[in-house]
Structure 1
Amino acid sequence: MGYRKGYYRKDGTYVQGHYTSKSTSKSKPKSKKGCSLLMLVIVSILGIEACNPESDCPTRKCSDYNSQAQAQQEFNENPSCLENLDSDNDGIPCENLPKN
């Protein structure tokens, strides 16, 4: 870019100095279709990976156990997977079940 000094037009009006582009030809705006397509493909792949239903954690509910002791035993073996059994996060799952 170059700086163009202020000047007077033939009609007498003054044009302030300003920066101008050195190229004389006007360039066409570049198409962004390729970029959009690439982003669509990436988002699609990430979406498919995020929806992968496979998990090492068993899906268990309190109704799957006969007693709180049975639920506690499995909870102690794998607390991160069975954290849904402990609703108040006190380390005691299925508190509504009978103790034995």
Structure 2
Amino acid sequence: MGYRKGYYKKDGTYVQGHYANNRSKSFSNKNNGCLVLLLAALLLALPISCSDSSSSSEPTTCPTKTCGDFSSQSAAQSTYNSNKSCYKNLDADGDGIACENLSKQISKQ
């Protein structure tokens, strides 16, 4: 809404100043620039946020464990099964069996 000043028509008659609704029901041209900038920023931020979240799928508080930290294969296997993404270094060949070189004793944990 804005105040339209009085003006003279071509036929010489004077139109009194009044409030007029200058905006249409759709977006005005003034707002289209802001809308375009907002969409561009959103499109640029989306791949960045997706790439950051996919690369940080591992927890950052994983303790560093090696096969030398365990006395038996079953103890290493139970630790590996508790969080496979965190302890993936216990399974060198990727077959799902942790520390295959350790003896297969029953752990007392």
In the superposition, the TM-score normalised over structure 1's length comes to 0.45
Higher helix share: 2
In the superposition, the TM-score normalised over structure 2's length comes to 0.42
